[in-house]
Chain A
Amino acid sequence: MDRIDQIVARHADREGPLLPILHDVQAELGAIDTAAETRIAYLLNLTRAEVHGVVSFYHDFRAEPDPRPVVQVCRAEACQARGIEAMMPAVAAAAGDRVRVETVYCLGLCSVGPNARIGDDLHARLDEGALTKLVERA
């Protein structure tokens, strides 16, 4: 809990400190669990429901830590049109249980899809081979 108290203290002077706090908690602790939600709510004088509502709204906030590497694959219309759906079985096979593959809807690179993202790096013009390689190396 000390870590959370420190994070909250860091953002105490901001207007609307909740989202920056949640980002830091997710980054530093790997998850925002019920205990963390409860503590953040107490420190910000919010209800548990309010914090939980925000945490559960965003897919980037996780209730439990998952140490696996993450590959985000775009499956929105443009990437579908460029064949992403057909690649998904191979992606799943390459990922196995070791890599978490997340579906996202649009990375903003529609003209150069199919696209994927690992951390802050974007990967474009992927074919099945390139994509599975990305997953294997993640």
Chain B
Amino acid sequence: MGYAKQPDFGTPEVRSDHTVTLSIDGREVTVPEGTSVMRAAAEIGGDIPKLCATDMVKSFGSCRLCLVEVEGMRGTPASCTTPVTEGMVVKTQTPRLEKLRRGVMELYISDHPLDCLTCSANNDCELQDAAAEVGLRDVRYGYDGAHHLGQVPDLSNPYFLFAPDKCIVCSRCVRACDEVQGTLALTVEARGFDSKISAGTAKDDFLSSECVSCGACVQACPTSALMEKSVKQHGKPERSVVTTCAYCGVGCTFRAEMRGEQLVRMVPWKEGKANRGHSCVKGRFAWGYANHKDRITSPMIRDSIDEPWREVSWAEAISYTAGRLKDIRAQHGARALGGITSSRCTNEETFLVQKLVRGGFGSNNVDTCARVCHSPTGYGLKTTFGTSAGTQDFDSVEHSDVILVIGANPTDAHPVFASRMKRRLREGAKLIVIDPRRIDLVRSPHIEAAHHLPLQPGTNVAVLTAMAHVIVTEGLVDTQFVAERCEVDAFEDWARFVADESHSPERLEPVTRVPAEELRAAARLFATGGNGAIYYGLGVTEHSQGSSTVMAIANLAMATGNIGRPGVGVNPLRGQNNVQGACDMGSFPHELSGYRHISDAETRALFESDWGVTLDAEPGLRINNMLDAAVDGTFRAIYIQGEDILQSDPDTKHVAAGLEAMDCVIVHDLFLNETANYAHVFLPGSTFLEKDGTFTNAERRIQPVRRVMDPANGYEDWQVTQLLANAMGLGWDYGHPSEILTEIARLTPTFAGVTWERLCEEGSLQWPVNEANPDGAPVMHVDGFVRGKGHFVVTEYVPTDEKAGPRFPLLLTTGRILSQYNVGAQTRRTANTAWHPEDLLEMHPTDAENRGLNDGDWVRLASRKGETTLRIKVTDRVAPGVVYTTFHHPETQANVVTTDFSDWATNCPEYKVTAVQVSASNGPTDWQEDYADLAERSRRISHEAEGEPAE
């Protein structure tokens, strides 16, 4: 595909049951009622010149270029603000209109630099196009009068610039920020001739402003006034490829706009069903890591982790690795081997890794990073609803009346979905936030939660049970829904349980610290406010009662009848691009793809005959059990694809001890990550730009990922896994990921109708795609639950064993920030560090004062497990007694302090509650210093040829 602009219909699409037929330039067109004349003209291929209109924002009618003549109407109305009417006769090109448009255009150009040939928007500029369309031949007004030329550009944002002299003050950027992103960071300053786009007050530039760098303004700009710096640097793209973002679980689709193999810019694809043409700072701009100097592109091996790395050929690396694995298997048995699949990799790559472990290594010791994030979602929703996935698509939020957000911070972690949610909130939907921290959604411009329940970390189940208590005892249950759709006996047990006085908000207030009256009001609102939708994140799952909380959420949704239609549902916001997919693909030790238990002989037989192997009927080890077994000496080798368990998993010292005890640690990654400090084999990985495959987002949407450049390391990740498999004698011969997808569809009922060709044609599919749902299922459990009847589960609140006490009086909870992503391996290697250069510990002013600490001080953060140092930020976002930090930077290693407590059902670690003490500090802890030494030693790469003269 060559480079073509995305189509722009000028005004947004209108949905209506009624249509209107009119005539435009002698051609008939039928469009939904409420459509603008401009859009109607565009639908039949017409092109009315326009500058202030674009279909991502509402019409505004300021540029006066899109004037048309309408029979029977006086004057020349603007086509963008004129709705169609039945029988309307419109002329878009007449001598009168030409003259008017040319006059308007002449005025625009009289105050615009005529440097088109050297402008970075040359040939990609709507002002230039409009001048051509109206046939501008002469500008009679010179530059002698007042003008706006020569103004200094604002270069403060690392990714885009603002050049005021190129600006025509159409306010598309302001409106995109208001309507699409919902941040409202921009304005038109002053008035008349002095009008200028401004990012906040007189003291603000783009970087210091409230701007979140989502890129919507840049996309909206018709000229080069707001322009990606990368386009200025590389020039106009020459082709574009539609692909899927590899950051969070929203799964935005982008056009990767290319020059040769150089990525020029990522632009959100308007037809993307998850993002609907929007983006965030990560997907839009933070892709520079792909070519970062730290990227390793040659395989490396070493016999022991004390040695420097030795760069070797792929052939040597693979045969060395296969040899070691075979030796270990011969000596210690198949169960001494295991692997970890990655939620960052494609479905096909994930599927192959678990196939290699099960079919090649011969054990079920395969786990995935979803273990440490959403494994309780899988367990909880499977138990209650019958399927391990969220119930809705993202469009559903447009129909919600009450939105309950618990343990999630969408504006930071799922920004594009947050923008869609905020749009609905601005339309009047009510919001309830359950979170120990006052996240932005609680109160930020034009958004205010009706209720914020700032609970004590670790008391989710108590709060949700108390809400259920209110709903049941105040008679707010949707009895018809429960009677028709749920198991009545289980419901009655549950209702009796929650109705007990011991679960009243008043009785639980001392535990949850949520004012009872506020909790009651929130419960009433959720039960009676119309369509109620629940969105949750890792603040729900990463607890010792993570699975219980997921089930408590499901109970609440069923009891209020909020399942099975648009606008309602239970929606896990997935942390990583392919968490859903990694779980679907059989990455858990006890499950084959499609969540079928490994002990089920029929399922096993299906795979055994297809793969030509014998599978172990016993579930294998989970990540933490692998590490325990390694310390005990029974687990000896691990293949880790695309996950940095040392930094991301809890209790860093325990992870380090486990890795250190293994004979062979194989790390397959883009960078020498922290885990690689303990590795013997490093297999360089490929980025999402360098491979074909599919990702599955939080709404079960399977979307194609497309290769836009050759892998810098030589192979796509699935090819590396195949090389290793074949070196172990498995004889695979996949030529393209589409063949792997075919195998997945063949072996997985929920994927039965999925093919690569169909995905390419339709853009995406939401599983299940099977006989019952041939085109997929945007909303699940419509006529009945997947398991038959919905199952209420009694969720008794059990306090975590991790308790604050005299030595560790504060509770630490962790989270993510907008500009950084998880362990930061990617975002730390981009200019996103401009916003978040280090991890900070948020602390309430009272706690800080008690310790004599000031904003910005270095502090020691200690738990029963370990200690680290970082700087504090004093803020009342957190309640007294609670501290909060992010885990994006290896220098901080926040997980040195987290514990190995975990979810009772799935072992998902309890990241969100750690008892800590915070005190003044002068510098790094011993662990940090020792670890920095180790990391430096461990990353040495020997270059034997070094020092020899170049030939």
Contact = CB atoms under 8 A, between A and B. Distances in A.
Contacts of B446: 45-46
Given A34-B201, A34-B202, A49 B443 contact: no
A49 B200 contact: yes
Contact of B203 (A34, A46, A49): A34
B201 A37 contact: yes
Name the residue among A37, A47, A50 with the largest chain B CB count within 10 angstroms.
A47
A64 to B, nearest CB: 10
Interface string B477-517: 00000000000000000000000000000000000000000
A63 interface: yes
A53 B186 CA distance: 9
B198 A52 contact: yes
Contacts of A47: 183-185, 200, 210, 445
Interface in A19-52: 34, 37-38, 41, 45-52
A49 B202 contact: no
A4 B203 CA distance: 19
B190 A50 contact: no
B204 interface: yes
B298 interface: no
B119 to A, nearest CB: 27
B186 A49 contact: yes
A47 B187 CA distance: 10
B190 A49 contact: no
Contacts of A57: 190-191
Interface string B194-222: 00001111111000011000000000000
Nearest to B185: A49
B189 interface: yes
A34 B198 CA distance: 13
A46 B201 contact: no
A56 B190 contact: yes
Nearest to A58: B191
B188 interface: yes
A44 to B, nearest CB: 9
Contacts of B447: 45
B210 A48 contact: yes
A133 B444 CA distance: 52
Contact of B448 (A34, A45, A51): A45
Interface in A72-124: none
Nearest to B199: A49
Interface SS, A side: helix
Contact of B445 (A34, A37, A46, A53): A46
B200 A48 contact: yes
Contacts of A48: 200-201, 204, 209-210
Given A34-B201, A34-B202, A34-B203, A49 B191 contact: no
Interface string B431-471: 00000000000011111100000000000000000000000
B774 to A, nearest CB: 46
Contacts of B201: 34, 37-38, 48-49, 51-52
Contact of B184 (A34, A49, A56, A63): A49
A38 B444 CA distance: 13
A50 B184 contact: yes
- Classify chain A: how many residues form its interface, as a range: 10 to 19
B202 A50 contact: no
Contacts of A56: 189-191, 198
Interface SS, B side: loop
B180 to A, nearest CB: 15
A50 B443 contact: no
- Classify chain B: how many residues form its interface, as a range: 20 to 34
B940 to A, nearest CB: 49
A52 B184 contact: no
B357 to A, nearest CB: 51
A53 B198 contact: yes
Contact of B188 (A37, A45, A53): A53
B194 to A, nearest CB: 9
A53 B189 contact: yes
Contacts of A46: 184, 445-446
A50 B189 contact: no
B51 to A, nearest CB: 21
Contacts of B202: 34, 52, 63
A95 B184 CA distance: 42
A105 to B, nearest CB: 11
A56 B202 CA distance: 9
B187 A45 contact: no
Contacts of B189: 52-53, 56
B853 to A, nearest CB: 24
A35 to B, nearest CB: 9
A37 B201 CA distance: 7
Contacts of B209: 48-49
Nearest to A49: B187
A52 B200 CA distance: 6
A47 B446 CA distance: 9
Contact of A50 (B187, B191, B199, B203): B187
B203 A53 contact: no
B352 to A, nearest CB: 48
A53 B210 CA distance: 14
A41 B184 CA distance: 12
B198 to A, nearest CB: 6
Contacts of B210: 47-49
Contacts of A34: 201-203
Nearest to B202: A34
Nearest to A46: B445
A38 B447 CA distance: 17
Contacts of B190: 56-57
A55 B199 CA distance: 14
Interface string A53-73: 100110000010000000000
Contacts of A51: 201
Contacts of A45: 443-448
Interface string B8-45: 00000000000000000000000000000000000000
A50 B445 contact: yes
A69 B198 CA distance: 30
A122 to B, nearest CB: 24
A127 B187 CA distance: 42
A51 to B, nearest CB: 8
Contacts of B444: 45
Nearest to B444: A45
Nearest to A57: B191
A56 B196 CA distance: 10
A137 to B, nearest CB: 32
Nearest to B190: A56
A130 B557 CA distance: 78
A36 to B, nearest CB: 10
A63 B567 CA distance: 46
Given A34-B203, A56-B189, A56-B190, A49 B448 contact: no
A65 to B, nearest CB: 15
A37 B189 CA distance: 13
A104 to B, nearest CB: 14
Interface string B838-852: 000000000000000
Nearest to B177: A49
Nearest to B187: A53
Contacts of B186: 49
Interface in B386-441: none
B193 to A, nearest CB: 13
Name the residue among A34, A37, A45, A52 with the largest chain B CB count within 10 angstroms.
A52
Given A52-B189, A56-B189, 16 more contacts: A34-B201, A34-B202, A34-B203, A41-B445, A45-B446, A46-B184, A47-B183, A47-B184, A47-B210, A48-B200, A49-B198, A50-B445, A52-B187, A52-B200, A52-B202, A53-B188
- Give 8 nearest A-B pairs by CB, closest first: A53-B187, A49-B187, A48-B200, A34-B201, A47-B184, A47-B445, A56-B189, A49-B200
17 contacts: A37-B201, A38-B201, A45-B443, A45-B444, A45-B446, A45-B448, A47-B210, A47-B445, A49-B185, A49-B186, A49-B187, A50-B187, A52-B189, A52-B200, A53-B198, A56-B191, A57-B190
